[in-house]
Structure 1
Amino acid sequence: MARRVIRKLVPDHNKIRQSRAIRLFGSLLHDANLWHLNRRSASGAFAVGLFTAFIPIPFQMLVAAAAAIPFRVNLPLSVGLVWVSNPITMPPMFYLCYRLGNWMLAAPPQPFTFELSWQWLVDSVSTIGPSLLLGCLAMGTIASIISYLLIRLLWRQSVVNAWRNRPGSRHS
């Protein structure tokens, strides 16, 4: 059950392999563990993908792919989960991260107005940057750990249920 649900969510591995950005990893993509879907690879992919989704940088998909390779977790799932942070979800996600970072640093909230300029970006890095980055690191870590444990638990429960419901089982 868990495998079928996740398989529907995972992008096609052939499309990912053909992606120009992913091809830069070359022969590292030949590791079969990057494409298998099992409890270890799925839970690890959730951890990598959701942690990366909370990193406030462009090209998060490349970072997720680069992290999936040494951890030997499902690469398509890792890359796909980065889209949890998308143009619609980013503002509330990063605002909550900023507020968490403020709380962790015991810093007062800074007045915030958005302006599309280089100067605004430089000024914001010094004023809201520390709180935002600490909050993103904390939220990414929390999301990573919870998703890893939850996927392992759900996958195991799915296997137990399938085992119990098989033909000829005492529990049928």
Structure 2
Amino acid sequence: MSKRRSKTFLTDWIRRHMPTREQMAENKYLQPIAHRFLTPELWRFTRRSVPRGVALGIFAGFIIPVGQIFLAAFMSLPARANVPLSALVTFITNPLTFPFWAVVANKLGVFILKVDLAATGGAAQDEMTSGRWSWFVNLFEGVGVTVLVTIFGFVVLAIVGASIGYVLASIGWRIIVARKRKRRLRAMERRLEERLSKDGEA
């Protein structure tokens, strides 16, 4: 993990837990394209790369049950997102939290399908049974209705969660930057006051 220190607790926590460039470069699954996503540009914390990294990490964490880190890293390339942050955020789903999110996804899927039935007479369900999505349905042939509803809920969580994560990360980044600027201004003011007081004494 990175040993660099910052002036914010959040940044320090992220640096302690996010994977390092060396760790990702040594991963056998990522080695073929390691030279692409290990470029310094994809490891900088900027107002654009941070929200994108959070959004992609949440999306990857919910959309597939395994290999989320690799998916997040791959998606970070074209999106120019922060690679280590996107990899870290995928841990929103892990063996400890997955049962909780599975329940949430199931309840969310049931709720949305009920709303669809009440608002549109089941337009979404009619679309799924129209035959145009048979290829998708066949992927889960033999799977129970509960599992299908849960998968649908996870897809919704991935899309909605990524959107919310992007917005919250953007707001959080602005707050962090604003606080840093205030601290710098205060430090400059103190140094200026000290210099003026010394000049006055002289």
Superposition TM-score, scaled by structure 2 size: 0.68
Question: Could you list the runs of 5+ residues in structure 1 that have no partner in the other structure?
Answer: 108-120
Q: Which residue in 2 is equivalent to 1:90?
A: 98
Match of 1:123 among 142, 146, 162: 142
Q: 1:89 Cα shift?
A: 0.8
Within 5 Å, which residues of 2 pair with 1:24-35? 24-35=32-43
Q: 1:6 to 1:30 in 2, by over 3 A?
A: closer
1:54 is matched with 62
For 1:134 and 1:98, locate their aligned partners in 2 and report how far apart those are by CA, in whole Å: 8
Local SS of the residue matching 1:58: coil
Cα distance in 1 between the residues matched to 2:26 and 2:87: 14
Distance change in 2, residues 1:27/1:12 (3 Å): closer
Task: Report the AA paired with residue 97 of structure 2.
Answer: T
Q: CA deviation at 1:165?
A: 2.2
Number of equivalences: 156
Alpha-carbon separation, structure 1, partners of 2:41 and 2:161: 23
* Structure 1 equivalent of residue 169 of structure 2: 151
Give unmatched runs, 5+ long, in structure 2: 1-7, 118-139, 191-202
Q: 1:83 to 1:58 in 2, by over 3 A?
A: same
Distance 1:6 1:20 in 2: 24
1:161–1:99 CA distance, 2 compared to 1 (3 A): same
Q: Which moved more, 1:82-91 or 1:33-42?
A: 33-42
Using the aligned pairs only, state the percent identity: 24
How many Å separate the matches in 1 of 2:170 and 2:106? 30
Whichever of the two has the greater Rg, that structure is 2
User: What's the counterpart of residue 188 of structure 2?
Assistant: 168
What is the CA–CA distance in structure 1 between the aligned matches of 2:71 and 2:14, rounded to whole Å?
A: 21
Deviations 1:11-34 (A, max 9, x none): 211111111111132442254322
Moved over 6 A (4+): none
Q: Which has the higher contact order (CA 8 A, sep 6+)?
A: 1
What is the TM-score when the length of structure 1 is the normalising length? 0.79
